[in-house]
Amino acid sequence: MCASGEHSFFSSSHTCSRCVCEMWLTRKRWTICTISILLIVYKTTDIGRNEAHQRTGLTRKSEPGSFRLMVNSSEKHFSFDLRDLSDMGVGWKSNATLVTIIRKDVLRFLDAERDVSVLKSSFKPGDKVRYVLDRRRTFDISQTLHSLLPEVSPLKNKSFKTCAVVGNSGVLLKSRCGKEIDSHGFVIRCNLAPLEEFADDVGLRSDFTTMNPSVIPRVYGGLQDERQRDSFIRRLQQLNNSVLWIPAFMVKGGERHVEIVNELILKHKLKVRTAYPSLRLIHAVRGFWLTNKINIKRPSTGLLMYTMATRFCDEIHLYGFWPFPKDGKGNPVKYHYYDGLKYRYFSSAGPHRMPLEFKTLKTLHSKGALKLTTSECTYA
Ligand SMILES: *[C@@H]1O[C@H](CO)[C@@H](O)[C@H](O)[C@H]1NC(C)=O
Ligand SMILES: *[C@@H]1O[C@H](CO)[C@@H](O)[C@H](O)[C@H]1NC(C)=O
Ligand SMILES: *[C@@H]1O[C@H](CO)[C@@H](O)[C@H](O)[C@H]1NC(C)=O
Ligand SMILES: *[C@@H]1O[C@H](CO)[C@@H](O)[C@H](O)[C@H]1NC(C)=O
């Protein structure tokens, strides 16, 4: 059932998913993705797949040495029962050979060391840049933004035995995974999710935290008043000089929030290492998955993080990835562990395809390429 004879680690039609959320508020379409890169989509000018491909030169055929990952993209069809997911950790073993194959294959499309952030030397203040997902519009690199661009990649020379990528699903509640998550060599978290009140279940440590610009209006009221600014500043202080990763160049609408955030960081001399993903990252990630026949229009932040982590982590452990409204026992699961946001996982209105992503990740889990934890952690 593999498309090519080479290293097929996905044997056939299986299902996967991912997480993102979508809401309709005051007649504007807000696509809110906890794990997703785009929080605010005012005018979703979607680029056709072919266009995106031509732009990034990703039309190549599979080369020798690549692997093929076959997943049935029919999202409604899951070849597994949610009940089977509760003890996935039992007997799981990492397959180092496969991990190396995937790392090499991802490297043909992107190098996390380079694509994780644009660098100061790539721009000067006043430069005009096209939005990644809306090529007709441009924005200016402000002085403020320029001064916060890193001089070297925050992932330069990085390499870890084990990493955690933490999604924000409510499946983490009562998981008691905090200790285990914090024990990894590098911990990646999504969208500035709150930690302190949930430390038992999600942990506290963070080496790399993503923040979609839409978090600013959605969670911090646009940072209009003192109280909102204080609470935001306190959250950034918890980052303790780790990386704050802001997808600032995706679509028009977010740049004013990014500017306010950048100004606050400078004004209060906050200890965070800001990073802003390269203009090609999302297309490259998409291209990588497409060669494995996984057609994901907009990879979620969680999938982006996994894909990048393949570069510098040997064992990648995923927590809080669960794009279903119920757990394996039939109990309700919140979309986010920390708020009441609702999301229709199977809706085609949103930009993400979380069930397909999950199906993919689950297949990778069963092959030992990554470890998905979707139930309680039993930390010895
Ligand atoms: C995917 O699954 C659906 C639903 O079971 C099935 O009808 C379809 O034939 C499958 N597609 C492939 C390519 O296996
Ligand atoms: C590890 O993955 C490789 C590549 O997919 C495969 O050939 C090999 O059989 C796997 N090893 C084990 C122990 O499963
Ligand atoms: C990365 O490693 C190279 C070679 O070991 C070294 O010269 C360089 O200074 C390192 N860079 C950083 C930022 O650590
Ligand atoms: C902050 O970072 C330093 C250096 O990495 C680390 O030693 C310290 O434990 C961290 N503090 C907290 C509260 O996480």
Alpha helices (runs of H) in the chain, residue ranges in sequence order = 49-56, 96-107, 112-115, 143-148, 178-182, 199-202, 215-220, 226-237, 255-267, 281-291, 301-309, 354-366
Instruction: Report which ligand 3 atom has the smallest distance to the Cα of 157.
Output: 1
Q: For residue 151, which ligand has an atom nearest its CA?
A: 3
How far apart are the C-alpha atoms of 247 and 192, rounded to whole Å?
13
What distance in angstroms lies between residue 206's CA and the mean position of ligand 4's atoms?
9
How far apart are the C-alpha atoms of 115 and 209, rounded to whole Å?
16
pTM attached to this predicted model: 0.80
How far apart are the C-alpha atoms of 25 and 369, rounded to whole Å?
39
What was the pLDDT predicted at 355? 81
Say if ligand 3 is within 6 A of residue 151 CB: no
Measured CA distances, 130 to 8, 188, 279, 304 (Å): 37, 28, 9, 21
Other beta carbons within 10 angstroms of residue 54's beta carbon come to 11
Say if ligand 2 is within 6 A of residue 11 CB: no
Strands of the chain, DSSP E: 8-10, 23-25, 28-30, 68-69, 128-131, 134-140, 160-166, 186-189, 208-210, 243-245, 273-275, 313-319, 371-373
What distance in angstroms lies between residue 359's CA and the mean position of ligand 1's atoms?
14
Instruction: Report which ligand 1 atom has the smallest distance to the Cα of 12.
Output: 14
Measured CA distances, 136 to 42, 49, 139, 248, 298 (Å): 15, 16, 10, 16, 18
What distance in angstroms lies between residue 236's CA and the mean position of ligand 4's atoms?
14
Say if ligand 2 is within 6 A of residue 95 CB: yes
Please give the chain's pLDDT, 380 residues, in tens: 233 323 333 333 332 333 333 333 334 443 333 334 333 333 333 333 333 333 333 333 444 445 566 565 555 555 556 766 666 777 899 999 999 999 999 999 999 999 999 999 999 999 999 998 888 899 899 999 999 999 999 999 999 999 999 999 999 999 999 999 999 999 999 999 999 999 999 999 999 999 999 999 999 989 999 999 999 999 999 999 999 999 998 888 888 999 999 999 999 999 999 999 998 999 999 999 998 888 888 889 999 999 999 999 999 999 999 988 888 888 899 999 998 888 776 666 666 678 888 989 998 999 999 999 998 998 54
Closest by Cα among 73, 75, 22, 89 to 328: 89
What distance in angstroms lies between residue 96's CA and the mean position of ligand 3's atoms?
25
Say if ligand 2 is within 6 A of residue 2 CB: no
Residue nearest to atom 3 of ligand 2 (CA): 98
What was the pLDDT predicted at 379? 52
Say if ligand 2 is within 6 A of residue 7 CB: yes
Q: Which residue is listed with tokens 């499309």?
A: 109
Residue nearest to atom 4 of ligand 2 (CA): 98
Say if ligand 2 is within 6 A of residue 97 CB: yes
What distance in angstroms lies between residue 157's CA and the mean position of ligand 1's atoms?
43
> What DSSP state is assigned to residue 304?
H
Amino acid identity, residue 305?
A: M
Q: Are 316 and 187 within 8 A, CB to CB?
A: no
How far apart are the C-alpha atoms of 175 and 331, rounded to whole Å?
14
Say if ligand 3 is within 6 A of residue 159 CB: no
Residue nearest to atom 5 of ligand 1 (CA): 77
Among this protein's residues, is 352 annotated catalytic? yes
What was the pLDDT predicted at 91? 84
Say if ligand 2 is within 6 A of residue 100 CB: no
Instruction: Report which ligand 1 atom has the smallest distance to the Cα of 79.
Output: 5
How far apart are the C-alpha atoms of 375 and 89, rounded to whole Å?
9
Q: Which residue is listed with tokens 């929080």?
A: 39
How far apart are the C-alpha atoms of 313 and 7, rounded to whole Å?
20
Q: Are strands 243-245 and 273-275 parallel, antiparallel or unpaired?
A: parallel
How far apart are the C-alpha atoms of 284 and 148, rounded to whole Å?
24
How far apart are the C-alpha atoms of 8 and 272, rounded to whole Å?
40
Does the domain at 96-116+152-249+274-373 match CATH 3.40.50.2300? Answer given as no
